Amino acid sequence: MDPKMIIVSAPSGAVGGLNLKKQYPDALSVFIAPPSLEVLEQRLSSRQTEDSAMLQKRVAKAQQELEFAPQFDAIVVNDELQEAKQEIISLVD
């Protein structure tokens, strides 16, 4: 059987990703992390798509999800987009 590649962005966040890993133990799980919570907040704020309360909720959720990062097979820090992209490609090649 040929291996298949499925890329999933778990809508329930890190916990959803870990649940998928339990169902598919041979799958490679990759946690994509911001360089820091401060950078994440700046990025979200610059989009101007959310009010301050929603922005703070998203940053708080990201902080909670970061606690699960060590349980993934790999962690990619999305600091420079092209570098993060290349790192992900090298993980799946």
Tokens standing for residue 84: 């993060």
- pTM value? 0.79
| Average pLDDT estimate for 29-42 | 91
For residue range 41-68, list pLDDT tens digits in order: 999 889 888 899 999 998 998 899 899 8
pLDDT, tens digit, 9 for 90 and up, residues 71-87? 889 999 999 999 999 99
pLDDT of 6 strictly over 70: no
Residue 40's closest CA among 77, 10, 72, 85?
A: 77
CB atoms within 10 A of CB 72: 18
1 pLDDT tier (thresholds 50, 70, 90): very low
Amino acid at 62: A
Domains of the chain, each with CATH number or no CATH = 13-92 (3.40.50.300)
Using alpha carbons, select from 49, 41, 40 the residue that is nearest to residue 77: 40
| Alpha carbons 25 and 27: distance in angstroms, whole number | 5
